[in-house]
Structure 1
């Protein structure tokens, strides 16, 4: 028996459909992408989230890596990826847990209506994927419904999981070396040859990202 399952939030009327057989999706099912709800215009929220870029050069470099490497890499995966803890850790792909407050602010800033925001957050299927091949890499946030990935927005400065107040209070970015990498137990470095925190070991560099202001829609 085939069953039609809902697509991502705010896709009513879309031709996108996810079809299951006997209520189950084959773990070998390919991943499908939609950009229906994707927001590329950057926003800045009161010093807590800023996804503007530093410069045109940075924007071109990061978007090129996203389109040329990250999305093709993800497109080669299957639905089973989300049950493979080892691989998701290596790819730095995970659910956005305990980030409801900042996510709600971001969605509101982007103009999503309250019903859609509630559906996105209460569905608990929001993920971020680090765009690989570059230290301090961009994150792309998406909603997952089975094997359908609905891209939502970019986090190029890694602000969703970095709190500048806690950084200032705890000096949490000051590390002279990484004990995991030094002990040769970093699967991430073995898989992608990058460290997600590398560019943020410099606290001044990290804090400067909150003042980035390059908007590709206005400066191209």
Structure 2
């Protein structure tokens, strides 16, 4: 029964369709990227046990390759290995959440502050905002969550630093573990859509100082709201 449940979970997560992305040059890094995306998208919620057999079969990779991918994601704090039990999607602590926001404030605000002279290449930021607005109209709150994450990834990408982009992918994927554990995603995402518009408007106007100030306030308000709700959720669990 457990193996059947594992197989169904692998199928529901869409891993078999990702198999074509690996091609002949299957690597642990590519497998890790696929699993990172699936975790961020909520296919593997916090606390989920990841079956080597089912996931390896769905992706068509060896057990050694999969274990190396698990090791990479454990290093990124997305997975945790429990002795004699297996590998699980990590359950984030309240302390982790506060640290995530410390990193976000440092990196995101610095990325905006360090922009050169306008105009800026805002296509990805605009696209993420448009996706969020459409998701809100459709009342697709998980899609709105994804669009909001992409908005902030696009802000950081303005710095044109591959290393910073990589850092933020991991940080924001870890943050998604918190969102997946919360009820009523609309409450945590819809109010911030208008604030994304304000940040984008400031960047379009070339006012980096105002954009950074809006972003810093946004992150602090988000931290307070989410940490309070998550603390309550953890205490009730």
Taking structure 1 as the reference length, the TM-score comes to: 0.27
Q: Which has the higher contact order (CA 8 A, sep 6+)?
A: 1
Length-normalised TM-score, structure 2: 0.25
Q: Which has the higher strand share?
A: 1
Bigger helix share: 2
